[in-house]
Each structure stands twice: as structure tokens, then as C-alpha cells.
């Protein structure tokens, strides 16, 4: 078969039959590929390890005679790698009170199943915290209102998820912090005259409990009402606006 060469020949080389055999036997060059570590994600087929790490939280509610103890165990994924992370794996609730044993067991099994399913499980917090008791809620230590015992279980799960990095609190900027501090100082100054006892009739030792009576359990002014945003008794009326001295929420009438 004739081949027409249209370009100018600058050199040549004679190919021998043994050269063709050697070229065919030589393996093709293999490109080196950098090894990629397999990142394990949370999924329902993941087997439970022999040992899990976790925390136990105590809930003392006026609705129950005995305290509830909520244990949340986490599985450590990709341990020892840059992709290491803790994810909730199972939840247990224990108490001496057996009146609500059925729904507590059901709740723990459902929550554990959701944890093992994987994906974004932080939605559980808002769902549980939105549960209201028709008999009424209660204030826990620190002046935070809990609409139900289920809502406090949700608050415990939120606290745990924050500790392992699943939920991050939005940081309040410095301008908002200064505004809240100024609002609180102005409110306290406006109410200080009527709340201060007369020095000529009350001793210095008797003034100490009177000063404490001007703040509630959360450390905010005693006249503060419940904030709908942060569920804390820190909402005061100033200049015709309801202002929260805890989270900065404001609503003008």
C-alpha cells in the first residue's frame, strides 16, 4: 500500500520486526492516582460499635415527682482523620416515674431510629420544643419557660447537638450587645427611684434582699415578661416598644 508523503522528510529510522514485538509486550504506562480516603457518612445500615461515647442529662420538672435522666450516645465517624465527627446514634430516658413509661419508650425508639437514618437530624429540636402541654408549662432554673416536658427533652437534645458541633448559636454582634446593655441600664434607672428603700428607715443589711427582689430568677428586671423568641422572662416595655434584654427581640405597639 503506497503512502503519499506531502511534507519534507527530515530524517528516517528503520523499524525491525523484533522492535515491534518488544513494543507490544511492554505494558502501557499507568498514571499514578493519589489515594482518596473513604469518608463514612451516617446511614441506617451502619452497625453499632461495641462502645459509644455519650452524655447523660438530668431533667427535674414540677410536672413529675421524680427526675428524668436523658442519655444520648454518639458514634464517632472517620476517627483519626480530618473528617472525624460525632453524630447522635441512640437515646435513652430513664426515671423512677412509671406513669408515662409507654410514650417515653416510644419516643426514645423513634428518636434513635431518626438519628441512625442519617442526614440533617437537627429538625427534631424544633419539633419537640414546639410541643405544648394543655395543662400548662413551667419555668426551669434560670427563668426559661418550658411549654411541656417533651419541649425540655428537645432542649436537652439541642444542648447536646451544640456540644458536638451539629448546631451553632448565631453570635450576637457587638452593636446589638451594646444596645441591649443601654436599654437595660435605662430601664433600671427609670425604675430605681420607686424601688429604692429609704436609707433613714432601713438598715444597710436589710437593703440586700430588697435589691435582689428587683430581679427575677433569670437575673432580669422583676417586671419583665416572657419573650416569645427566647422563652426567657426578659421582655420589658420601653418607649412604647417591647424589648427583650436577653436576645434583643423588639416589637413596637
Angle at 192 between CA 188 and CA 198, to 5 degrees: 160
pTM attached to this predicted model: 0.64
Query: pLDDT for 72-99, tens place per residue?
Result: 999 999 888 888 899 999 999 999 888 8
Query: pLDDT for 148-193, tens place per residue?
Result: 999 999 999 999 999 998 988 777 777 777 878 888 888 778 776 5
Going by pLDDT thresholds of 50, 70 and 90, the confidence category of residue 130 is very high
Computed over every residue of the chain, the mean pLDDT equals: 81
Neighbours of 156 (CB within 10 A): 22
Across residues 34-47, what is the average pLDDT? 74
Query: pLDDT for 186-244, tens place per residue?
Result: 877 877 655 555 454 444 444 444 444 577 766 788 778 888 778 788 888 877 788 88
Going by pLDDT thresholds of 50, 70 and 90, the confidence category of residue 142 is confident
Instruction: Give the separation between CA 111 and CA 70, rounded to whole angstroms.
Output: 12
Q: Edge-to-edge strands of the sheet including 225-226?
A: 225-226, 233-238, 241-244, 250-252
Question: So what's the pLDDT on residue 97?
Answer: 83
Amino acid at each position: 500500500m503506497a503512502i503519499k508523503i506531502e511534507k519534507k522528510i527530515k530524517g528516517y529510522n528503520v523499524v525491525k520486526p523484533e522492535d515491534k514485538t518488544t513494543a507490544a509486550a511492554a505494558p502501557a504506562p499507568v498514571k499514578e492516582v493519589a489515594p482518596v480516603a473513604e469518608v463514612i457518612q451516617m446511614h441506617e445500615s451502619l452497625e453499632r460499635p461495641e462502645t459509644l461515647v455519650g452524655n447523660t442529662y438530668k431533667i427535674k420538672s414540677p410536672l413529675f415527682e421524680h427526675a428524668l435522666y436523658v442519655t444520648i450516645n454518639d458514634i464517632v465517624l472517620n476517627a483519626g482523620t480530618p473528617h472525624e465527627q460525632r453524630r447522635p446514634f441512640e437515646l435513652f430516658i430513664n426515671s423512677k416515674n412509671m406513669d408515662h413509661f409507654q410514650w417515653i419508650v416510644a419516643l426514645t425508639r423513634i428518636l434513635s431510629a431518626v438519628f441512625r437514618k442519617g442526614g440533617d437530624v437537627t429538625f427534631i429540636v424544633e419539633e419537640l420544643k414546639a410541643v405544648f402541654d394543655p395543662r400548662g408549662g413551667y419555668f426551669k432554673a434560670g427563668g426559661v419557660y418550658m411549654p411541656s416536658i417533651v419541649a425540655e427533652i428537645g432542649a436537652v437534645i439541642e444542648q447536646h447537638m451544640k456540644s458536638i458541633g451539629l448546631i451553632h448559636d448565631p453570635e450576637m454582634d457587638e452593636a446589638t450587645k451594646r444596645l441591649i446593655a443601654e436599654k437595660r441600664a435605662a430601664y433600671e434607672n427609670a425604675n430605681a427611684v420607686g424601688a429604692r428603700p429609704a436609707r433613714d428607715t432601713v438598715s444597710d443589711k436589710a437593703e440586700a434582699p430588697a435589691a435582689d427582689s428587683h430581679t427575677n430568677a433569670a437575673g432580669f428586671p422583676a417586671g419583665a415578661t416572657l419573650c416569645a423568641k427566647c422563652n426567657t422572662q426578659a421582655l420589658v416595655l420601653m418607649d412604647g416598644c417591647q424589648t427583650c434584654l436577653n436576645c434583643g427581640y423588639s416589637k413596637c405597639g
